Amino acid sequence: MYLLFTEVEPWEQKILEHAFRDHQLLFTSKSVNDCNLIFYRQIDILSIFVHSSIDKTILQSLPNLKLIVTRSTGTDHIDVITAKAINVTVYNMPTYASQAVAEYTFGLLLSLARKIHLAYCRIQTEHTFSHEGLEGFELQGKTIGIIGLGNIGKIVARIATGFDMHILACDQKEDTAYAQSVGCSFTTFQDILTRSDILTLHLPLTPQTRHLICQASIKTMKKGIYIINTARGAIIETSALLEALSDGHIAGAALDVLEHEKEMTPENKALIEHPKVIVSPHNAFNTKEARKGLIKKTIDTIKKWIQSQVEL
């Protein structure tokens, strides 16, 4: 079989070459969208990362394609409806970086709460040890609202117990046993908005969750709330967030994902330059442990699928 792996680093390529030495392999550090697909029309299996957008046009340009494995939690960058219609199987990796993303969420939260990023930049740029304007707040006793108590949200809740926080959550599937074990209370989305000091998002991007955080929902939030987003950028309506930051309704935001990722749009530039905002480059997944685990899961998934075809 012909396999194409996109957005691959050299160390990953070495592992994949060894794992699939009996197959025809193609590698590129680019995304699918930056490749000339005429050179890859023969591929049977495509493994991508989050920066490749697989739409109908791309699917139709790969006539032999049978399997897409995205090395990411979400599948919002893939036209799964068209893929299913033309019998292309799609697999994702829903649990590979849960610990990494949850820990990063608290890294962002602590930076917001204690202005660590501002303190660091001041030392670097001004060479001054003044702490004027760097007063922060403690997490103990604050209410954290977790939107999406799945694999990542559960770990966030567990970490929050170590800070002695009050924990609220909402999810389509309520794991009451886990919630009770960490002292988390399930409630409604609206109740979380009105009661939380900190809001953190851990849910996939779907038509239902796109712009879940919008002008209308922000108006119902507790004034002075802080928002953390390590999920998908388009869950937040950027223009509404900027407006709420400007009028003080939202006290601060830490965003590892943006609505128009990798584009320097005027709104993204405004977020990046905003004094109440921390922006990082979709980096929450990026630990040695998570990335090694991801490659192993990718290999196992593809090998299992190939074996299933052999057994047919």
Would you please indicate which residues are annotated as catalytic (active-site) residues?
232, 261, 282
Give ∠ CA 120-158-99 in degrees, rounded to 5.
65
Question: Are the CB atoms for 108 and 230 separated by under 8 Å?
Answer: yes
Q: How far is CA 18 from CA 13, 21, 288, 302, in A?
A: 9, 5, 20, 14
CA dihedral 36, 39, 45, 46 (to 10 degrees): -20
Beta-strand runs (E) in the chain: 2-5, 24-27, 45-48, 67-70, 89-91, 143-147, 166-170, 184-186, 198-201, 225-229, 250-255, 277-279
Q: How far is CA 80 from CA 43, 70, 73, in A?
A: 18, 12, 14
Element (H, E) at 102: helix 98-114
Q: Phi and psi at residue 23, in whole multiples of 5°?
A: -125, 170
Ramachandran assignment for 282, one of left (phi > 0), alpha (psi -120 to 50 degrees), beta (any other): left
Task: Tally Cβ neighbours within 10 Å of residue 204.
Answer: 17
